[in-house]
Every structure is written in structure tokens, then in C-alpha cells.
Amino acid sequence: MVVDQLTKRYGKKTTVDSVSFTVKQGEIFGILGPNGAGKTTTLEMIETLRPIDGGEAMLDGHDVATQPDRVRQVIGVQTQSSPFYDKVKLRELLELLGTIYGKKVDSAKLLESVQLTEKADSYVEKLSGGQAQRFSIAAALVNDPIVLFLDEPTTGLDPQARRNLWDLIREIRDRGITVILTTHYMEEAELLCDRVAIMEAGQIIALDSPTKLISDLLAQGFKKETTVQQADLEDVFINLTGKGLRD
Amino acid sequence: MAHSFRTMLALAKTQLKRNLRDPITSIVLFGIPVLLLLVFGALLGNTNNIKLRVAVINESNHAFAQQFTEALDNISVISQPDDALSFEEARDKMKNGELDGIVELPHEFGNEIAGEPRGALKVYYDTADTQTGDIVASVMRSIVDESNQQITGAQQPITIQRESIGVNQVSAFDNVFAMFTGMAVLMVGVFGVASSIPADKKSGILRRLHVTPLKSSQLLGGTMIAFGAIALIAVAVMTLLAVLVFNLNMHGGWLTYGVFMIFATIMMLGFGLAIASLAKNSTQADIIGQVVFLASLAVSGVWFPRALMPELLQNITFAMPLTPVIDGIREIVGEGATLTALGPELLVVAAWSVVLYGFGAKLFRWS
């Protein structure tokens, strides 16, 4: 995927300002930044949800602005809130999405891949936060996409659910699907992403692998005062409550 | 094309399941029209008789006045209160809507002059309901004319004979059935479709669907099919109740009725689409829907008979969407009208459908 000088304006305000980056096939690419940095807007332009005001985005050889239908066929999207029809069972929703994409869906297998087999006949509104996020990822995989977009996938999840979602995202990457995610959790970007673009006020201010970014900072003479600990509070919590999912 | 149709049907199936599984939706879209039909149907029965609630205040001591009062007891269209009332009590009841009129026989009523009883009775009615007052006065006039003929023994030189024209007679229940069936379909449009699309927009569901290959025509088509099915189920339930409970006699063909209701439903759902596309949010959609609903009831003769409107207004209100639906149902059920005979009504329905769907489709936005 190639993004070149991508721009989004609302009146006089430029929310995304000439952003450029390339995403390699099969990598987990993160867009990191605080709220209001322009992460979601950037993603939504590439997902064909918002018109592009400047620049271009090419995905799998298709121009996002002029060939949105082709792009929608090959991407999977998990939006921030990921809403679905209420009073419709999970397997029914997956089957509906399959019909939309013109694909036969094995809903049982998909639900199994996200550990939701026993919830096949449940409604989305009855799921916990972690279950809902896992389902939204399953729904985004219905069409075997080549690129999966995840918008702040672990926001609001407890530590166990977050870690399990990270494992799921790695598994998806290992299947050969390119993953592009936005996050404002530094730890998530560091542990999950092969490369990270750091956004601030609509612009990319750094782009590289987390390791390289950290080593570049250290090379500038940065020194962090730390007490080396073998564990942190999150480890305490997980140790006390168990690594398993709290569904 | 086949894929597009399959997608539309799959979406329709999902929407239908979703709405039928929601008890509140079922109550609003099915329960209310059915309840109204049952209540009004029970009140009216399936007879053509009208009953006027009239209090007779006899202030005369003359024998003729007493005989006259007793004779009024035997008039089937007049229903008198069980208890004797004073004039003031009767007037208060009329103000409360418990009486349609008051007939007062003054002190001198029935006083014999030249061997014949004489007198002028007074008919009082509520000025807020002159229509009913006219009916009461008309009935009393007939009774007085008959009494005069019996007293004088003279034959009326000029008389009137009444005869209805038409194969069948539209009963009061037929009118009620037509009204509430039309209303039920309108409700599915302005409260079902009009609320559903903005609500899905607000929750982000439409946005989520917009990142798939789903086209707006497939989304809207599937939604219309689902709500169309709901509307026709409501019509079927109401029709079945009307036939089984109130002995509704369908003089027209069932196929004619079914086809007409499909066209009517398509138009009414178009209202919902237009409102949903115009409104910026669910609140606006609800408000616009209520305005459209109430205005439709007002101009289509549900609250106020169109026959009593000025001619210009009658012509204008004929072109209002609910009017041809109610007229069409009434004519099919009561008079056995065919689709050909309902040409003017179907033309209005078709014209509104084109306008509403065109408007709605043009204004529709995913978010």
C-alpha cells in the first residue's frame, strides 16, 4: 500500500497534512499518536469512508479515490465502535457479510478462530467488550482480505483481553494478511508492530520500527532513569487473576 | 444482477428477523393498529344502524306530551338515558359528550286547540358538533312530520322516496377497516423505515457496512423489502381479524385487494425513505414522521369527513397519499371494485411513489 501526500481538510483546518508512507505486504504497521492526531481520519480515507482532499492512496494496485469498489473487495475493516445489527445472531451476521462479498462463509470456523464458538447464537449486544472486539475482527476477515484495518482495537479492554487480541493479531499477520492498526497505547505499538508511524497534529513526525526509533533516541543521548524491574503492575494483575480470557 | 438481488434478499431477511425479534417494534407496528381495529370494530359492530343519544325533557302536563315521549322510546335510532334528567343535567352531559342532543317539550306542548294537540318542541345541540345536531334535528323533523300526519289525517301532497344505488353498501365497519388498515401501512413507513435508517446511521452500522461492497441500492432495497413484509403481515393479520371477528364481507377479489395493498405499501414505505434521507438524526426523523402521520390522518377523512370539505379542498385531499389508499380499500371491500376501476387511486399512488423514492434515493447518505 502506498500513501502519498494524503490530505484532509475541514474548512480552514487541515486534519491530515500531506501524509506519506508505504506498508509492506505481511507486516503489522502501526499509526501511533494522541487523540486528535489524525490517525482515524487517515485510516478512514484509505478505507474509502472519507473523500480524499489531496494526494493519493494506492492499495493492491487500485486507486482508493477512483476505484473504491475494488478496494472494498480486498480490505477488512474493524472500526472504532464496530457496531452491528442488534437482535441478529453472530453467525447470521457473518453469513450476511459473506453474501455481501459474494463468498461462502464457514461461520463456525471463523468464530472458532476468534474463540467465540459458543456464542454463535448470541446477539452482539450481549457480548462483553473483548468478545465484541474479537467478533468485529472475525467479521473483518469474512472476505479473506489482503489488508486488515484495525482502529484502536484494544481500547477499553482489560489486560487479559488485550493480550489475547494481540495474539490474534499476530496470528492474522502470520496467515499473510497485512495489518494496519491505529493506537494510542505505546506498549501496544512497541510489542505488536513491525513498523510504526508516529502522528502529531495531522503529520507523521517519525516512521520506523519501534526498535530503531528507540535506538535512534538513545543515540541522541537520551537516558531514562529507571529502576529495573522484572515485573510491573499489569503482570501482578494477570498473575493474580489468570491469563485466561475473562469473558 | 443475481448477486445484487441475493444481497438485497439477504439484507431483507436480516432486517426482518431483527425487527420481528424486537418486542417494542412488534407492539408499535402490529399491536396498535390491530388494537384500534378491535376497539372501533367492537364499538361499531357490523351493522349500519346509528344511535343518537338524546335526552327528552318533558315539562308539559298534557297527555299528548306524555304519549309523544313514550313514542320516542320506541324509535330505534334514539337512545335515551336510563335516568330522568333535568335540563341543566342534560346540558352538562351534552357538554361532556355524553349526549348528542336534548329535546325539550315546553309547558304548553300538547295543549289542545280545536281538538288537536299543538306545540313546538325544541331541539338543543352542541355548537361544537353541528354535524350531529343536524342529524338529531333531521330525525326529530321526520318524527314530527309523521305525528302531524297522524293528527291531521291529511296525506302529504309531495313525498320523498329513498333508494340506494350501487351493488353493495359500504358499512360503518368497512370504513373503519379501510381507515385503520391504511393507517397501519402508513405507520410502518413513517415510524418503521423513517426511524430505522437514521438509527443505524447514528450507531455507525451504515458506516460499517459502507466499507463492504454493499451498494446503497442494495441496502435501501433490502430495507424496503423487510419493512414491506412487515406491513403486509400487519395487513394480513388485520384482515383475518376483520373477517373472523367482525364478519367482514370482501366483495372484491382477494387478488385485487392483495395487489392494491402491495402498491399502497410501496408508496407508504417511500415516505419512510424520504423522511430518513431528509432527517439529520433520529429525533428529526421522529418529529417529521409524526407531522406527516397526523397531517395524513387530517386530510384523508379520518378525523373529518372529506364530503364536508369545500369542493376545492376535496379535490386537493384526494391527491394526498393516504386518501386513495383508504378509498381503494373501502371500494374493494365494500363495492367489489377492480384494479381498473381504481385507476385514479392507483395513479395518485404511482405518482407519489416516483416522487418519494426519487427524493429519498437522491438525498440518502451513508453517514
Residues of B with CB under 8 A from a CB of A: 3, 6-7, 10-11, 14-15, 17-19, 21-22, 200, 203-205, 207-214, 218, 367
Mean pLDDT (chain B, rounded): 86
Instruction: Give the number of beta-carbon pairs within 8 Å between A and B.
Output: 68
pLDDT at A74 exceeding the cut of 90: yes
Please report the pLDDT score of residue B136 as a whole number: 86
Return the CATH superfamily for domain B50-152.
abc type-2 transporter like domain (3.40.1710.10)
For chain B, give the percent of residues with pLDDT over 90: 44
- Of A1-5, A82-86, B93-97, B146-150, where does the model show the most confidence? A1-5
Confidence of residue B75 (pLDDT cuts 50, 70, 90): confident
Confidence of residue B146 (pLDDT cuts 50, 70, 90): confident
Quick one: average pLDDT of B184-190? Answer: 91
The CA distance from B226 to the nearest CA of chain A, in Å, is 14
Decide if B211 and A97 are in contact by the 8 Å CB cutoff: no
- Pick the closest to residue B319 from B347, B357, B290 (CA basis): B347
Decide if A96 and B17 are in contact by the 8 Å CB cutoff: no
pLDDT digits (tens, 9 = 90+) for B94-142: 888 888 899 999 999 999 888 888 889 999 988 877 778 888 888 888 8
Decide if A81 and B15 are in contact by the 8 Å CB cutoff: no
Interface check A87 vs B, CB under 8 A: yes
DSSP-derived pairing of the beta strands B101-105 and B122-124: antiparallel
Round to the nearest angstrom and report the end-to-end CA distance of chain A.
36
| Cα–Cα distance measured from residue B177 to residue B333, given in angstroms and rounded to the nearest whole number | 9
**Which residue among A83, A85, A143 sits closest to B18, beta carbon to beta carbon?**
A85
Helices (H), chain A: 39-46, 68-74, 90-101, 107-113, 129-140, 159-174, 186-192, 210-219, 233-241
DSSP state of B212: T
Interface check A197 vs B, CB under 8 A: no
| Cα–Cα distance measured from residue A111 to residue A127, given in angstroms and rounded to the nearest whole number | 13
| Cα–Cα distance measured from residue A241 to residue A70, given in angstroms and rounded to the nearest whole number | 46
The CA distance from B286 to the nearest CA of chain A, in Å, is 20
Decide if B7 and A99 are in contact by the 8 Å CB cutoff: yes
Residue A12 backbone dihedrals phi, psi, to 5 degrees: -90, -10
- Pick the closest to residue B124 from B84, B160, B155, B89 (CA basis): B89
**Which residue among A72, A85, A92 sits closest to B212, beta carbon to beta carbon?**
A72
- Locus of grid cell 365497519: B173
Mutation pick from A50, A89, A99 vs chain B, by most beta carbons of B within 10 Å, is A99
B chain contacts of residue A48, beta-carbon cutoff 8 Å: 210-211
Given a contact cutoff of 8 angstroms between Cβ atoms, the answer to whether A72 and B213 are in contact is: yes
Locate the chain A residue with the closest alpha carbon to B365: A49
| Cα–Cα distance measured from residue B55 to residue B152, given in angstroms and rounded to the nearest whole number | 27
Which stretches of chain B are assigned E, i.e. beta strand? 52-58, 78-79, 101-105, 111-113, 116-118, 122-124
Decide if A100 and B7 are in contact by the 8 Å CB cutoff: yes
| Cα–Cα distance measured from residue A61 to residue A147, given in angstroms and rounded to the nearest whole number | 13
Angle in degrees, 0-180, between the axes of helices A129-140 and A159-174, rounded to the nearest 10: 10
**Which residue among B10, B21, B210 sits closest to A96, beta carbon to beta carbon?**
B10
Higher local confidence (pLDDT), B160 or B183: B183
- Pick the closest to residue B33 from B185, B163, B139, B149 (CA basis): B185
Locate the chain A residue with the closest alpha carbon to B201: A83
Decide if B14 and A102 are in contact by the 8 Å CB cutoff: no
| Cα–Cα distance measured from residue A40 to residue A28, given in angstroms and rounded to the nearest whole number | 16
pLDDT at B48 exceeding the cut of 60: no
pLDDT at B280 exceeding the cut of 70: yes
C-alpha cell at B172: 360503518
pLDDT digits (tens, 9 = 90+) for A125-153: 999 888 999 999 999 999 999 999 999 99
Locate the chain A residue with the closest alpha carbon to B23: A87
Please report the pLDDT score of residue A186 as a whole number: 85
Q: Residues 6 or more apart from A95 whose CB is under 8 A from it? A: A105, A107, B10
Query: ipTM beyond 0.90?
Result: no
CATH 3.40.1710.10 segments of chain B: 50-152
**Which residue among B19, B21, B208 sits closest to A79, beta carbon to beta carbon?**
B208
Please report the pLDDT score of residue A193 as a whole number: 93
Locate the chain A residue with the closest alpha carbon to B10: A96
Please report the pLDDT score of residue B44 as a whole number: 65
Confidence of residue B46 (pLDDT cuts 50, 70, 90): very low
pLDDT digits (tens, 9 = 90+) for A201-230: 999 999 999 888 888 888 888 777 766 777
C-alpha cell at B341: 376501476
For chain A, give the percent of residues with pLDDT over 90: 63
Mean pLDDT (chain A, rounded): 90
Please report the pLDDT score of residue B116 as a whole number: 86
Given a contact cutoff of 8 angstroms between Cβ atoms, the answer to whether B20 and B65 are in contact is: no
Backbone angle region of B191, left / alpha / beta, with phi > 0 → left and psi within -120 to 50 → alpha? alpha
| Cα–Cα distance measured from residue A127 to residue B1, given in angstroms and rounded to the nearest whole number | 36
Mutation pick from B208, B214, B367 vs chain A, by most beta carbons of A within 10 Å, is B208
- Output the 3-class SS for B302-332: CCCCHHHCCHHHHHHHHCCCHHHHHHHHHHH
Interface check A77 vs B, CB under 8 A: yes
**Which residue among A81, A92, A101 sits closest to B213, beta carbon to beta carbon?**
A101
| Cα–Cα distance measured from residue B175 to residue B306, given in angstroms and rounded to the nearest whole number | 13
- Locus of grid cell 386537493: B316
pLDDT at B181 exceeding the cut of 60: yes
Please report the pLDDT score of residue B142 as a whole number: 85
Quick one: average pLDDT of B331-336? Answer: 88
DSSP state of A123: B
**Which residue among B18, B205, B214 sits closest to A100, beta carbon to beta carbon?**
B214
Chain-centroid distance of CA A54 in Å reads 24
A chain contacts of residue B19, beta-carbon cutoff 8 Å: 87
The CA distance from A224 to the nearest CA of chain B, in Å, is 42
User: Three-state DSSP class for A148?
Assistant: strand
Which class for A34: exposed (0-12), middle (13-18), buried (19 or more C-beta within 10 A)? Answer: exposed
- Locus of grid cell 472476505: A143
Confidence of residue A196 (pLDDT cuts 50, 70, 90): very high
The CA distance from A97 to the nearest CA of chain B, in Å, is 8
Backbone angle region of B115, left / alpha / beta, with phi > 0 → left and psi within -120 to 50 → alpha? left
User: Three-state DSSP class for B268?
Assistant: helix
pLDDT digits (tens, 9 = 90+) for A7-54: 999 988 999 999 999 999 999 999 998 888 899 999 999 999 999 999
Which class for B366: exposed (0-12), middle (13-18), buried (19 or more C-beta within 10 A)? Answer: middle
Q: Is the dihedral of CA A141, A143, A146, A152 positive or negative?
A: negative
| Cα–Cα distance measured from residue B310 to residue B15, given in angstroms and rounded to the nearest whole number | 44
